[in-house]
Amino acid sequence: MSFCTAINCMDGRAQEPVLGYLKKRFGVRYVDTITEPGPNRILATGEPPDRAASILERCDLSVRKHGSRGIAVVGHHDCAGNPADGVAQAEHLRQAVARLRRHYPDLEVIALWLDESFRVHEPGGERWNPGGVP
């Protein structure tokens, strides 16, 4: 069996687009899903500490028990758990990915952004422009 891990917002609009994208992106059959409101902010800031630790514990389980091939942390437009603008969310994603890469140096860790239509974008790809920053 093949797995990857999604650290996604609990927002129901974010689930299906991310699952489909990651199955193709990592070439896996299953996606272990860790959900929290605004996980990019939680991982970027480490606050609240208990929730940041919980995300990492669940991610460890996915990596150890399912042999996750890669990890994605997700931010999205109109997030209730992270109501920051797109520019701030992009920075949260950058910091969250950096933290996860330190924790999992042998795995590919990526950021995903869901735009106002909940289309998935990966940094460097088409329409990766949260907040309208050139």
Report the 10 Å Cβ neighbour count for 76: 26
Distances (CA, A) of 30 to 64, 66, 70, 88, 100: 15, 10, 12, 30, 20
Residue 30 in this model has a pLDDT that exceeds 70: yes
Candidates 49, 42, 22; CA nearest to 93 is 42
Q: Going edge to edge, which strands form the sheet with 3-9? A: 30-36, 3-9, 70-76, 108-114, 120-121
- The rounded mean pLDDT for the chain is 92
AA letter at 133: V
| pLDDT tens, position by position, 113-125 | 999 999 999 986 4
> Mean pLDDT, to the nearest integer, of 79-93?
93
Per the CB < 8 A criterion, the answer to whether 90 and 26 are in contact is no
- Sorted by where each starts, the structural domains of the chain and their CATH numbers stand as 3-132 (3.40.1050.10)
> Mean pLDDT, to the nearest integer, of 58-71?
98
